[in-house]
Structure formats: C-alpha cells, structure tokens
Amino acid sequence: MKVLIADDHALLRDGLKPFVSKISEDVDILESCDYPSTHETIAAEKPDLVLLDLRMPGMDGTDGVLRLRRAFPDARIVIVTGWVNRADVLETMRLGVSGYLPKSLNGTAMMHALRLILCGVPYYPSDILANESTQTMPSSDGTTTTPRDRSPLSALTRREYEILTQLVGGASNKEIAKILGLTEITIKSHLRNVFRKIGATNRTQAVALALREGVQAAINPTRPEESGNSAPIIVM
C-alpha cells in the first residue's frame, strides 16, 4: 500500500508517519511539500491514499483539491488540516474527497479514521457539520464532547459512553475491565447495550459511528506501553 503525505511542514509529515505506518501491514510512505510535487507524485506513483494539506504552497485551498480531483478522479484524497471550518468541509465533500481530518486528532483516532476510509467509509467532523443544538457528554478523562442531539450516543449512560471512548482508543475487553476496575463479563454486558443503543453489530461499526460523532479516544495514563498511539498530532 502506498500513502502520500502532502504537507509543507516536515515536522508534521514526520509526526504522521508512525501512525500511517500502522494502518496496514505493508505501507510505503511517500512525501511531497507543495502542489506541483504532489501532482507529480500522484501521477507517477498512483498512491492508494493521499493525505493532503489545504494550505501548502500552490494549493490555494479547495481550488487545489478541485484541480487534483479533475486530474486524478480515482485518487482517494483525505484532507488533513489544522484549519477546520464548515465552508471548507462542505466544499471538499462536494468535490468527493474521502475524509476531512483535523491535525489535532490523537494518533489512535487518526489510525481508526484512515482504516475506515480505506474500507470505503467517509470521515468528516460531525461537530462542524451539525446545525442542530448540541448537548454535552462526559468523557473518561474529565473533558466533554458535544454530539448531536439526535445522535444515538445520547441514549448511552455515562458508564457506557466511558467504555465507548476506551473502544475508540483500541482497548480490549480485558484492558477496559482493568482500567475501569470492572470484570470482563460486566464490560461485555455494557458493550452489548452500547451496540444495541447505537445500532452497531460489532466493535468496528461501533468505532466508526463513534468517530463520526466526534468521540475522542480515552487517555489512559496507566497504559504507558501505548503512549505512542495516543499522542496528539502536532497542530501547525
């Protein structure tokens, strides 16, 4: 699999590489730093995935996306940007890009989103797209998120939502049980309720829906061995 990281900041490209390398067993990471080199690399290498910055030299925002879409209509393009606004999200959706990822996503969420995109599931930030009023929901690290009122997540209890954030973080049932001080049987019971309430049939579907609704992966200081996976992407 070939993945092109197109961004003019070398530090950002280096920051993305460890997470991109984990989306598949064999990933060849390509790099470009401006619109001309991006166009040239796509033409020559035909990457499976293009992670594209909207504001690198020569891009001119969504105008550059339009030019790339016209030149390479089959390319799977994902916007990765530190500047998130509704107009850009809607325009890139209209142009048919596969996703729009804020650079502030943590590593685990970034990997989940890219894997889902590769499976044909688009990813866009729901908090930007939502027009409806929102409600605040607690996360396991004390922060809050605001999924849409009509979201199936609103039916979850605090404990179920907490477990869902662990699921997004990639924790197994055994790990979730240890982190929350519960038994695996209890975790399985909670997960059955979560799946039923949000309309998912398995963990992958649950994570996909959670990411689309803006759920952040839980931050677990007690799992240092995975600290590399949960580190935030640097916002440029």
- Would you kindly state where each structural domain of the chain is located, as residue ranges? 2-129, 137-220
Please report how many Cα atoms fall inside a 13 Å half-sphere around the Cα of residue 78, on the Cβ side: 28
The reported pLDDT for the residue numbered 129 is 60
Q: How many angstroms from the chain centroid is the CA of residue 57? A: 25
Q: How far apart are CA 47 and CA 38, in angstroms?
A: 11
Supply the pLDDT for residue 83. 76
Give the DSSP letter of residue 27: -
Supply 127's token pair: 């908090």
Residues near 196 by beta carbon (within 8 Å), at least 6 away in sequence: none
What pLDDT tens digit does each residue of the chain (236 aa) get?
999 999 999 988 998 999 899 888 899 999 999 999 999 999 999 999 999 999 899 998 899 999 999 999 999 999 998 877 778 888 888 899 999 998 877 788 888 889 888 888 888 876 666 543 333 444 444 444 444 445 677 788 888 888 988 888 888 999 999 988 889 999 999 999 899 888 888 888 888 888 877 777 766 544 434 444 433 333 33
Query: Are the C-beta atoms of 9 and 54 separated by less than 8 Å?
Result: no
Q: How far apart are the first and last CA of the chain?
A: 27
d(CA 194, CA 142): 20
Domain 137-220 class in CATH: mainly alpha
Q: Burial of 77 by CB count in 10 Å (0-12 exposed, 13-18 middle, 19+ buried)?
A: buried
Residue 210's pLDDT is what?
82
Q: Are 102 and 81 in contact (CB under 8 A)?
A: yes
Tokens of 179: 């982190």
CATH number belonging to domain 2-129: 3.40.50.2300
- Please tell me the predicted confidence (pLDDT) of residue 1: 93
